[in-house]
Amino acid sequence: MGWLENGWGLSLVVFLPLVGAGAVLAIPKANEQAQKMSALVFAGASFVLSVVLAFQFDYGRSMDFQFGTDLSWISAINSRYIIGLDGISLPLLVLSTFMTVLSIVYSWEHWPEPHNPKAFLSLILVLATGMAGTFVALDLILFFVFFEVVLLPMYFMIGIWGDRNQAKLPVFRRTIEMRLYASIKFFLFTLFGSAFMLLGFLALYFRSGNFNNGVNTFSMEVLSEIGRMGVWGGTFGFWVFAALFLGFAVKVPMFPFHTWLPDAHTAAPTVGSVLLAAILLKLGTYAFVRISIPILPDEAHSWAPAIGILAVIGIIYAALACLAQTDMKRLIAFSSVGHMGFVMLGIATLTDIGINAAIIGMVAHGVITGLLFFLAGSMSHRYHTREMARLGGNQKLMPIMGGILGFTAMASLGLPGLAGFWGEFMSLLAAFNPIDGLSDNLFRTLMVIGAVGTVLAAGYLLWMLQKVNFGEPGEEWASHTFHDVDGFEMAAWAPLIVTIIAIGIFPRIVFGATNDAVVSLVASAFGG
Amino acid sequence: MLINQFLILGGALFSLGVYGVLTRRNAVMVLLSVELMLAAVSINFVVFDRFLADQLAGGQIFALFVIAVAAAEVGIGLAIVLLIFRNRRSANVDELDLLKL
Amino acid sequence: MTTLFATIATKAPLILATAEEGEAKAFSDGGILASGAWLIPVVPLVLAFLIVFFGKRSPLKGWGMAVTALGFVAVYGTVLFLMNLGEGITYEGAVWLADIGTTAFGTLSIEWGWMVDGLSIMMYFLVGVVGLLVFIYAKGYMEGDIRYTWFFASFTLFAGGMLVLVSAPNLIQLIVGWELVGVSSWLLIGHYWEDHENSSAAIKAFLTNKVGDAALFIGAIIVALTVGSFRFTDIMEVVASGGPDSPLATYAFWAGLALFIGAMGKSAQFPLHVWLPDAMAGPTPVSALMHAATMVTAGVYLIGRMFPFYLAHDFAADVRLIIILIGGATLFLMGLVALVQDDIKRVLAYSTVSQLGYMTAAMGAGAYTAGLFHLFTHAFFKGLLFLGAGSVIHAVHSNNMSDMGGLRKYMPYTFWTFVIGSLALAGIFPLAGFWSKDEILASLSYASGEFPAAEGGAGAANLVLALGIVGAFVTAFYMTRAVYLTFFGKYKGHGHPHESPRVMTYPLVGLAVGAAFAGLLNVPGVTDLFTKAVGARFVAVLDHHAESIDYTIAVLGGGAALLGILLGYRLFAKDAPTQLERDRFSIPVLYPLLRHKYYIDDFYMEGIIKPVRGPVARGVDWFNGHVIDFVINGAGILARAVGKVVYAFDQGAIDGAINASGAATSLWSGVLRRIQTGRVQQYATLIIAGTVLLVGGLVLFQQI
């Protein structure tokens, strides 16, 4: 199976969905069944192929890039088509193809208004290419292209199929339509960060020639080697890291760059929120691990305390904000900020335990919060409201849905034995002993505050469950009949539930791939 | 050498040709005037060839070329005029303002 | 791919010494029974899942599977317990799950394992036997419940979680079991979630526990990173050999304190006790199991598991001062609250908190055996009392003692077993509670002479000893009150109470046997079976074991209990038309203080929860919308305003210039278009005129 190894396999995983998008567009509008089938086939093929790659992957040398290739692309600026898969990107790649398939399955019978499966499916598929590509790109420009490709489909998803409610902007007292406001905010906010990120990339490119026999390069591997030598220089490194930080932190999102997230998640159609939460947020954290740390290790070291503090502020801040929410979807959205805070805390420790924690935290957050958004979407579809005050007694009206919601909330609050636990616990674990040179006392304080955050997280999730699931159903629902979880929902959710339990009980599913890669990454970036 | 007379003859012929091209209404006459201009040029070629005693006789050769080209030009030109006449029932150049489009 | 599971070789006994003599003693490795003990937590967990999916369709609606699970554990646990009484078993099995990074000590791994030693065997036995009886009882109690099957699923999960916890040979697995117990207790306490109050009680339990869990996380983290392993055996190795300079010793105080705060959450120690009385919102069998063998014992179990760490001078010995004081405060303060409760289950709940205080104080005093022994006997009589209370509630359909009275005649089995349980709890010779409580008091008295923890240690031990004796009096007093109000006098409720079905009374009898005789396992001077049994550990548990009974203490403790019963008899034996008149001992200040549970619950509610959920949370949300988003939206709106200005400039100045050039162009083109006539001759004229001009110009100016 040589073609699998030499880059074709990986390229197919990335570009099959794009081909699928073309195929869906080519099918006449009336023939929805064919559109759905072909979308599923292409996304499914991409998923199956990524799983095949996961099985072919040589876990013994997970620190090396495998299945990769290096082809000439834009020779004028020496930007090359370099892709590859190592233990860090493997779980995230599989996660992204997996979530795409589930999103299409879920969409089968749940179309947001206006009804246009053709456009919707092709946007999902374009998104899939962008997401998968970001995780395999090893060239900064290629990375940037994929990183930006995901913006457009998401912008249209929110802008076209989003929440049509009017809302009032605080302070400015303007009336806005949620979907338009949220989509523009999402797009501009992210683009704002990306602009700085691109500047950072270019700065690295132009400086890299000095240390690479006069050849400027965008190759992450070469740049990492330069970074390892520690020759970037103080001021230069500082500003480049700052630029990259801005780009990635907006995407994560970290406090205080997070405010696009609650609006975007709340306004987006169900599948949009799911993919946004499950994959798009991971692009930022992944970039920290893949780009910031190896290429600018010294700068990462000096920035780590700031990142750690912001991460922990995010944890507490998001938990408190969650407590104040009345809208279920918005609550889940804010909880993402908190979870990504744990991920960033893990990264900020710059230890292998912390980065392992970050990666399993990303995967776990992907499946858990993805499922939560699925549930929130399905529930608001049935109740036509997301106001928790009006819900209640859901467990009585829809026992299976309520049960799954309870289960997922438990997973989200980090119940040991389910996926969410490892990321939370291990990032606290890592914070006790950050890498040499970082202040132990600072990070231990952060650890304690983070632990308080887990209590608050339990609080808002339990109160959410109490409001939504428990009690007697309100009188306004007395005359309604509710259909409990249907087949397509079950088909999309059951795999997620199984994954949550599987990772919880047997975390080697993730650590088996990541550990060696992370250990070698930390060792080569920081020595010893 | 008696070069001036020949040049005056060439100039006169050329001017007659120009006058004809600019003023005649009939397309056939315009073509004939063009032939006059070519003849004037040929004379000049031959005269200067002799006058400069060119070893390769370039002027004379050019004169032969001009004669050949003139013959071809008349052939094509008359064919075009014939076609225009067939379509328009007229060979009056004042009515031919297709270039304005 | 590498092999999926790699079993780690089981550990050989680390330190082959019993406490007292220090002589080398080899324990049995338990053979196949120990190596197969992984089934003990796994069977209930698997069956719990099966009940969720297949329970409703099975003939016994899930009860069959639940009781099978507990029956299996009970039999397995009993066999192990008997074997352990004989020779002592130490075995540790582990399955490697994953590496999660490196520490200063090498690779850090997480494992799934099962510990089979004296401590965990005792817990298997307790959870299995008490659990089995409670499960049998629950069939009668829960008959006709709306979520009968679901109840048994979560109940089995609850027991399974506890077994995961006690079988854990490492801190990670302990945490897993710890929180599994927490979440299943949340399910069970909130079983009747239609009622807002019940789900609130469930949340209260979960959150209070979570506070402890957060501390437990921190403790586990500190220990793991200073030892380089999550394994208890590795930790104990460091404790045994580390000395004051080992990294663990540096942080031992904080680690020990954090772990203890975790234990306080689960074992309902003051001031984290508030959840336990409210947990009565769950069905009574849940309360019975929760208070007897599972959940609340977890904290004491954790201290027992980490005991050498708390005992060693170089390590967390200083924390024991805090432990003993917290234990003393809990046993005394909460015992008093039990005096004023009307809900029979709340009386028992506060009694549990108080008894847990005894256990904790014993652990703090360095009395490993005494603390665990009380845990052991307490499981029987507290389980018995809760099931008896359940039987009463089942009969009169009310939790309140004001609706009871005179039930002795209607429910003889319940009455007699309840009395045995009460006497055992009160500590009356020769029932189980007497021996265990006596052992605690004796070790407190011993510790006051030997207490090593700190300067104030001896004083603290003396104080707690005094509290413990007063506590014995209080215990006897409130139990007498409960017995009289419930079973004596005239019936004051509605309907006709009747004895419960046999499926409920037989477990009562079974537990009554335990409550009566469990204490005989460890009679000072006669037998030290229990001491040896729980002393079967990989690491020596240095513990004082009394050679003979301390008569002073025994008489003081027993006398206090008898006094309590007498006083109770004096106050409550006389019947009155209403229970309120019978139940009257209003002491100013103290009574309202006790009725309000020292205002601790109110303080948490009004002082912490409401502000955090209310103003603080809303403040953060306001900040989000009005400050951060103000900047973002402001930037957006400002950009649009600037855009308008730029647009005006664009339209006015730049476009003006462009348009002007356009207009000029079109003007000129209007002029020039006239010369395009399409007539070849005119064109030729122009060409020639141009040529003439050009040539003429050249001739004139360039002088060709």
Q: Is C495 helix (H, G, I), strand (E, B) or coil?
A: coil
- Reported as a single tens digit per residue, the pLDDT across A193-206 is 999 999 999 999 98
Q: Is A471 helix (H, G, I), strand (E, B) or coil?
A: coil
**Is residue B23 within 8 angstroms of chain C, CB to CB?**
yes
Question: Residue C92: beta bridge partners?
Answer: C115
Give the pLDDT confidence score for residue C20 in this predicted structure. Answer: 41
Give the pLDDT confidence score for residue A362 in this predicted structure. Answer: 93
Instruction: Return the half-sphere exposure (C-beta side, CA atoms, 13 A cut-off) of residue A375.
Output: 32
Give the pLDDT confidence score for residue C8 in this predicted structure. Answer: 42
With CA atoms as reference, report the closest residue to C421 among C373, C375, C370, C387. Answer: C387
DSSP secondary structure letters along C322-357: HHHHHHHHHHHHHHHHHTT--BHHHHHHHHHHHHHH
Q: How far apart are CA C52 and CA C54, in angstroms?
A: 6
- Reported as a single tens digit per residue, the pLDDT across A476-505 is 888 888 888 888 899 999 999 999 999 998
Q: Is C601 helix (H, G, I), strand (E, B) or coil?
A: helix
Which helix or strand (DSSP H or E) is residue A133 part of?
helix A117-136
**Is residue A353 within 8 angstroms of chain C, CB to CB?**
yes
Percent helix, strand and coil across chain A, each rounded to 5?
75, 5, 20
Which helix or strand (DSSP H or E) is residue C100 part of?
strand C91-103
Q: How far apart are CA C585 and CA C580, in angstroms?
A: 10
What phi and psi, each to the nearest 5 degrees, are found at residue A72? -70, 140
If one compares A51 and C282, the residue with the highest pLDDT of the two is A51
List CB contacts (< 8 A) between B21 and chain C.
Answer: 681, 684
What is the side-by-side strand order in the sheet with C91-103?
C6-8, C91-103, C106-116
Question: Residue A486: beta bridge partners?
Answer: none
Q: How far apart are CA A101 and CA A106, in angstroms?
A: 9
DSSP secondary structure letters along C542-586: -----SS--HHHHHHHHHHHHHHHHHHHHHHSS--SSHHHHS---
Question: Residue C170: beta bridge partners?
Answer: C231
Classify residue A289 by its DSSP letter: I
**Is residue A408 within 8 angstroms of chain C, CB to CB?**
no
Burial-class residue A71 by CB neighbours within 10 Å (0-12, 13-18, 19+): exposed
Give the pLDDT confidence score for residue A428 in this predicted structure. Answer: 93
Strand (E) positions, C441-512? Answer: none
Block means of pLDDT (10 residues each) for chain C, 704 residues, are: 40 39 57 84 91 83 87 92 84 85 86 87 91 89 85 90 91 91 89 86 90 92 89 84 80 91 90 87 87 87 88 81 90 88 87 91 85 90 90 85 82 88 87 86 73 62 87 90 85 80 87 87 79 78 66 85 87 74 70 82 84 86 85 86 88 85 89 80 87 90 70
Burial-class residue A117 by CB neighbours within 10 Å (0-12, 13-18, 19+): middle
**Hey, what amino acid is at A440?**
D
With CA atoms as reference, report the closest residue to C123 among C210, C181, C207. Answer: C181
A446: confidence class by pLDDT, cuts 50, 70, 90: very high
Rg value, chain B, Cα = 17
Q: How far apart are CA C592 and CA C586, in angstroms?
A: 9
Query: In sequence order, which residues have a C-beta less than 8 Å from that of residue C314 and are 6 or more positions away?
Result: C242, C243, C244, C246, C249, C252
The tokens of A224 are what? 């990492």
Rg value, chain A, Cα = 22
List CB contacts (< 8 A) between A456 and chain C.
Answer: 612
With CA atoms as reference, report the closest residue to A146 among A136, A128, A133. Answer: A133
Question: With 90 as the cut, is the pLDDT of residue A131 above it?
Answer: yes
With CA atoms as reference, report the closest residue to C127 among C191, C72, C59, C197. Answer: C72
Q: How far apart are CA A268 and CA A159, in angstroms?
A: 8
Q: How far is CA C362 from CA C335, C367, C438, C538, in A?
A: 17, 5, 11, 22
Question: With 70 as the cut, is the pLDDT of residue A1 above it?
Answer: no
Rg value, chain C, Cα = 37
Asked if A296 and A240 count as a contact pair (C-beta separation under 8 A), the reply is yes
**Chain C: touching chains (3 or more CB pairs < 8 Å):** A, B
**Chain B: touching chains (3 or more CB pairs < 8 Å):** C
List CB contacts (< 8 A) between C678 and chain B.
Answer: 96-101
Q: Whole-number mean pLDDT of chain A?
A: 90
Q: Is A449 helix (H, G, I), strand (E, B) or coil?
A: helix
Classify residue C144 by its DSSP letter: T
The tokens of A215 are what? 């050849």
The tokens of C235 are what? 């930790």
Question: With 80 as the cut, is the pLDDT of residue A516 above it?
Answer: yes
Asked if C356 and C300 count as a contact pair (C-beta separation under 8 A), the reply is yes
Q: How far apart are CA B63 and CA B69, in angstroms?
A: 10
Of the candidates A448, A507, A518, the beta carbon closest to that of C110 is on: A507
**ipTM for the whole complex:** 0.90
Of the candidates B18, B93, B101, the beta carbon closest to that of C680 is on: B93
The tokens of C451 are what? 């207490």
Which helix or strand (DSSP H or E) is residue C107 part of?
strand C106-116
Reduced 3-state DSSP string for C283-314 = CHHHHHHHHHCCCHHHHHHHHHHCHHHHHCCC
Q: Is B26 helix (H, G, I), strand (E, B) or coil?
A: strand
Query: Which of B14, B16, B21, B34 is the mutation pick for testing C, counting most C CBs within 10 A?
Result: B21
**Hey, what amino acid is at A392?**
G
Which helix or strand (DSSP H or E) is residue C115 part of?
strand C106-116
**Chain A: touching chains (3 or more CB pairs < 8 Å):** C
Of the candidates C677, C680, C688, the beta carbon closest to that of B18 is on: C688
Give the pLDDT confidence score for residue A288 in this predicted structure. Answer: 92
DSSP secondary structure letters along C44-74: HHHHHHHHHHHGGGSTTTTHHHHHHHHHHHH
Neighbours of A351 (CB within 10 A): 28
**Is residue C679 within 8 angstroms of chain B, CB to CB?**
yes
Query: Which of C38, C46, C100, C628 is the mutation pick for testing A, counting most A CBs within 10 A?
Result: C100
Q: How far apart are CA A202 and CA A425, in angstroms?
A: 37
Q: How far is CA C33 from CA C41, C86, C227, C653, in A?
A: 14, 14, 30, 93
Q: How far is CA A171 from CA A321, C108, C236, in A?
A: 18, 51, 60
- Do the chains contact at C679 and B21, CB–CB below 8 Å? no
Q: How far apart are CA C29 and CA C121, in angstroms?
A: 13
User: Hey, which residues 41-70 in chain A have their CB within 8 Å of chain C?
Assistant: 55, 59-60
Average pLDDT over residues A404-419: 91
The tokens of C184 are what? 């299943």
Q: How far apart are CA C230 and CA C233, in angstroms?
A: 9
Query: In sequence order, which residues have a C-beta less than 8 Å from that of residue C104 and are 6 or more positions away?
Result: A433, C228, C247
Give the pLDDT confidence score for residue B101 in this predicted structure. Answer: 62
What does pTM read for this prediction? 0.84
Question: Residue C343: beta bridge partners?
Answer: C400
Within A209-327, residue ranges assigned H as helices are 220-229, 234-251, 260-267, 270-275, 281-287, 293-295, 297-323
Give the pLDDT confidence score for residue C456 in this predicted structure. Answer: 61
What phi and psi, each to the nearest 5 degrees, are found at residue C567? -60, -45
What phi and psi, each to the nearest 5 degrees, are found at residue C492? -115, 5
User: Hey, which residues 38-97 in chain B have their CB within 8 Å of chain C?
Assistant: 93-94, 96-97
- Reported as a single tens digit per residue, the pLDDT across A95-107 is 999 999 999 999 8
Q: Is A507 helix (H, G, I), strand (E, B) or coil?
A: coil
CA dihedral C105, C106, C112, C116 (to 10 degrees): -50
Classify residue A79 by its DSSP letter: E
Q: How far apart are CA C209 and CA C177, in angstroms?
A: 13
- Reported as a single tens digit per residue, the pLDDT across A224-280 is 988 888 888 788 989 999 999 999 999 988 888 888 999 899 899 999 999 999 999
Q: Is A473 helix (H, G, I), strand (E, B) or coil?
A: coil
- Reported as a single tens digit per residue, the pLDDT across C100-133 is 888 888 888 888 888 888 889 999 999 999 999 9
Percent of chain A with pLDDT over 90: 53
